A and B are shown apart, each in its own frame.
With several copies, the nearest count.
Chain A
Amino acid sequence: MKFEVFVTLKNGVLDPQGKAVENALGNIGLSSIKNVRQGKYFTIEVDEHNEEKAKTLVKSSCEKLLANETIENFKFNKIQ
């Protein structure tokens, strides 16, 4: 089973990368692009046929590793 996982910075956490991207876009003439926030995107495969069980595994990888909940949120979707 295949999932996609999104890890994004919580509101209020400064995102210097997003800021830098935004500035850089401005510099190359794309100044109408605003509020860039950068996060992480994973695709993962779970060796598990039961969807519920697979989801529990994905959730637990997010909590234990993929996201740092002090600063990040996560969500995920089944894609296959």
Chain B
Amino acid sequence: MKANVIVFPGSNCDRDIKVALEKFQLKTKMIWHQDKEMPKSDLVVLPGGFSYGDYLRCGCMASKSNIMCEVIKHANKGGFIIGTCNGFQILTETGLLPGVLLRNKKLKFICKYVNLLVENNSTPFTSKYKKNQKIKIPIAHNEGNYFAGEKTLDELEQNDQIVLKYCDENSIVNNESNPNGSCLNIAGIVNKKKNIIGMMPHPERCVESILGGTDGSGIFQSLIN
């Protein structure tokens, strides 16, 4: 399987995700944001970081860069796309995923391991997990507060597009286990066709026990399946 990681000025998890992809034997190419063409791949990754400084709105300026036309083409052809953290923000700004990521409710950057509930394991990104499995993956963001109008939220629920929700030790999804104020505790969603996932947690940060956990591996293992 081949993967392209898009590098924007200000991306800073690009190397991290490349290491993780390669650990799971995905052949990985780094693609510069100004490129007008993108080599063929099965997967495109929009990495975390602060593309263009995340000034104005997170992910907004990245969503306008040259390479995004190629990424959209890839999406329309049914290719897989993962956007983690800033990548998720870029996907919503581009319109490939609905909603928007607002500033965390407490207005502070949060970096920590959180519990997540796998709400939907029938996506190409989560098939290695069990439904309702509780996993631990770190988050690290200032703007991860998922917001969408009621109609969109209904649609997300009806189409089973909500993939990951923040929960507590005991798998309970509630206000206390919501780190950033996201609607419905949403941590990750897919598009209708389920070939695009956006998630605030960083799976690439937990694929080795020395780094605090290995629950992120499931995402990559699902993909190579």
Contacts and interface: CB of A to CB of B under 8 A. Distances in A.
Contact of B65 (A13, A20, A27, A38): A27
A19 to B, nearest CB: 8
Interface of A is mostly: helix
Residue of B57, B145, B149 most packed against chain A (CB within 10 A): B57
Q: For this complex, into which size category does the number of interface residues on chain B fall?
A: 20 to 34
A35 interface: no
Interface string B97-125: 00110111111000000000000000000
Interface string A39-80: 000000000000000000000000011101011000000000
Contacts, number: 59
B56 A21 contact: yes
A17 interface: yes
Contacts of A23: 52
A29 to B, nearest CB: 10
Interface in B72-118: 93, 99-100, 102-107
Interface of A: 13-14, 16-17, 20-21, 23-24, 27-28, 38, 64-66, 68, 70-71
27 contacts: A14-B102, A16-B105, A16-B106, A16-B107, A16-B145, A17-B56, A17-B107, A20-B52, A20-B55, A20-B56, A20-B107, A21-B55, A27-B61, A27-B64, A27-B65, A28-B64, A38-B56, A65-B56, A65-B60, A68-B57, A68-B60, A68-B93, A68-B100, A70-B99, A70-B148, A71-B102, A71-B147
Return the 8 tightest CB-CB contacts between A and B, nearest first.
A17-B55, A20-B55, A24-B61, A28-B64, A16-B105, A70-B100, A20-B53, A20-B107
